[in-house]
Amino acid sequence: MNKSDPYLMNRRGVLKGSAAALGGAFLGGEPTEAYPKGVNTNSNPSALKITDMRIATVVKPGPGPCPIIRIDTNQGVYGLGEIRDAASPTYALMLKSRLLGENPLQIDRIFRKIKQFGGVSRQAGGVCGVEMALWDIGGKVYNAPVYALLGGKHRDKICVYADTTESDNPKIYAQRMKERKEVMGLTWLKMDLGVDAVADKPGTVTMRSGLSDWEQTEIPHPLLAAEVTDKGIALLEEYVAAVRDAVGMEIPLSMDHLGHVGVKSIIRLGKAYEKYNLSWMEDVIPWQYTDLLKQISNESPTPILTGEDIYLKEGFQVLCENHAVSKIHPDLATSGGILETHKIGDMAWEYGVPMAMHFAGTPVSCMANVHCAAATLNFLALENHSLDVPWWSDLVEGVEKPIVNHGFITVPDKPGLGITLNEDVVKAHLLPGTKYFAPTPEWDNESSADRLWS
């Protein structure tokens, strides 16, 4: 036990205040013996207030740097959250003045207050990270794991799937996938396989020349007029065949990063991959093109999945009610946080759509995902981009190690998210030029008229 942990110290320190609030030996004229025993009196929830927000940014535990949020309160109870990988800490810090003085247990009310400051993809990172931290506080105050506050858990372990380092050689790629299964014990696999793997070979991809880097990354897929030839599809199929030969047909296999190609090419790829029984092809075109996604889903025998860039439930509902995709894939650090993602899953259940979850970050955000996944009935599997990062599990304490064990994460039963930071390890992996939870007084007094309705 870390005796210097302000949360642990506080849970002793506020006992006197809570006892006083109980009115001594009598409550409403009745002896205290008439009241239930074992009630948590280590905090005074109605008087809880947010007093500070600070950031510590970890360098590349996944695809990009990950800012960890710490929200402090007047009773020493603090909460941890995380901004989505590679997003700016400013997305959270701009919310600080709007949070100070609020009772962090009013999670839904605070979320409705700040959700206007989120947006698609990483622009939602601040709102989602704050929401995670509020749930961590709530669980600590009420002495319950977050999943219990969501209504309870449907599973004790969470299935994990992961990407795999690519190779230009199909046999090498297949061997790496086999190691994921046999050495790491994964029970769900994912391969990144796009047209870039074959585009250097003549006669594989038809596309206009002279495109700038910006055009190739920012213009939506259907507007680039790039198409894959029969030769290109045959070469891509060699990769999938090699992987299936190596890992077998029994284990679920998903595919991502197909490249910015046209709708017809996506459909043709979906037909070519039918014999390999893929669980899904991911993010084939931007999620906003509902009608085009429905066309692809109707014509491709390979299931289609999307969702990691969608903020809030409404975008997912359009996809589900139109059956434009076979599965959805929210990123909790983008979709609106723990409760909103739980609502997304419940909504999708009503339309018969299962939910996988995208995740790339530290164990802080990972545990937020784990609690949500445990409490959401139609959950499939949770992504993890950090299986090859040796210090990833060491960033936190309080949970089973290794966190990902033979393809599963055990759902923690400790209060809140169930973790504390390992200060030494986090400090050793801070983004260069940043500090460990440095004060942020410059964000205390921002003034703005944030009203939504006139």
> What is the model's pLDDT at position 31?
46
Per-residue pLDDT tens digits for 366-414: 999 999 999 999 999 999 999 999 999 999 999 999 999 999 999 999 9
Q: What is the pLDDT of residue 43?
A: 63
Residue 428 lies in a domain: no
pLDDT-based confidence at 5, cuts 50/70/90?
Answer: low
Q: Does 79 map to a domain?
A: no
What's the domain count of the chain?
1
**For residue 4, is it within any domain?**
yes
Please give the pLDDT value at position 303.
98
User: Which pLDDT belongs to residue 30?
Assistant: 43
pLDDT digits (tens, 9 = 90+) for 179-217: 999 999 999 999 999 999 999 999 999 998 888 988 888
Residue 14 lies in a domain: yes
Average pLDDT of the chain to the nearest whole number: 91
DSSP 197-227: GTTTSTTSEE--S---HHHHHHS-GGGS--E
pLDDT for 103 beyond 80: yes
Which one-letter DSSP state was computed for residue 64? S
Mean pLDDT within 57-85: 93
CB 421 within 8 A of CB 68: yes
Nearest-10 crossing angle of helices 230-247, 170-182: 30
Do the beta carbons of residue 56 and residue 80 sit within 8 Å?
Answer: no
**At residue 38, what are phi and psi to the nearest 5 degrees?**
80, 10
The per-residue pLDDT for 37 is 53
Residue 124 inside a domain? The answer is no
Instruction: Give the lowest-confidence range in 2-11, 126-135, 190-199, 421-430.
Output: 2-11
Residue 22: give the domain boundaries.
1-42
Q: What confidence tier does 248 reach under pLDDT thresholds 50, 70, 90?
A: very high
246 belongs to a structural domain: no
Tell me whether residue 24 is in a domain.
Answer: yes
Instruction: Give the Cα separation of 305 and 297 in Å (integer).
Output: 9
Across the range 433-438, mean pLDDT stands at 97
User: Is 423 a domain residue?
Assistant: no
pLDDT at position 74 over 60: yes
pLDDT of 2 > 70? The answer is no
Give the mean pLDDT of 415-443: 97
- Which value, to the nearest 10 degrees, does the dihedral of the CA atoms of residues 357, 361, 363, 369 take? -20
Predicted confidence band of residue 225 (pLDDT cuts 50, 70, 90)? confident
Beta bridge partners of 396: 421
CA distance 353 to 325: 8
Specify the higher pLDDT residue, 28 or 108: 108
Residue 26 has pLDDT above 60, yes or no: no
Work out the pLDDT band at 38, boundaries 50, 70, 90.
low
Residue pLDDT, tens place only, 280-320:
999 999 999 999 999 999 999 999 999 999 999 999 999 99
| pLDDT tens digits along 317-350 | 999 999 999 999 999 999 999 999 999 999 999 9
Band of pLDDT at residue 14, cut at 50, 70 and 90:
very low
Angle at 287 between CA 227 and CA 170, to 5 degrees: 50
Give the helix/strand (H/E) hosting 443. none
The band of 434, judged by pLDDT with boundaries at 50, 70 and 90, is very high
Q: What is the CA radius of gyration of the chain?
A: 24
Looking at this protein, which amino acid is placed at residue 315? G
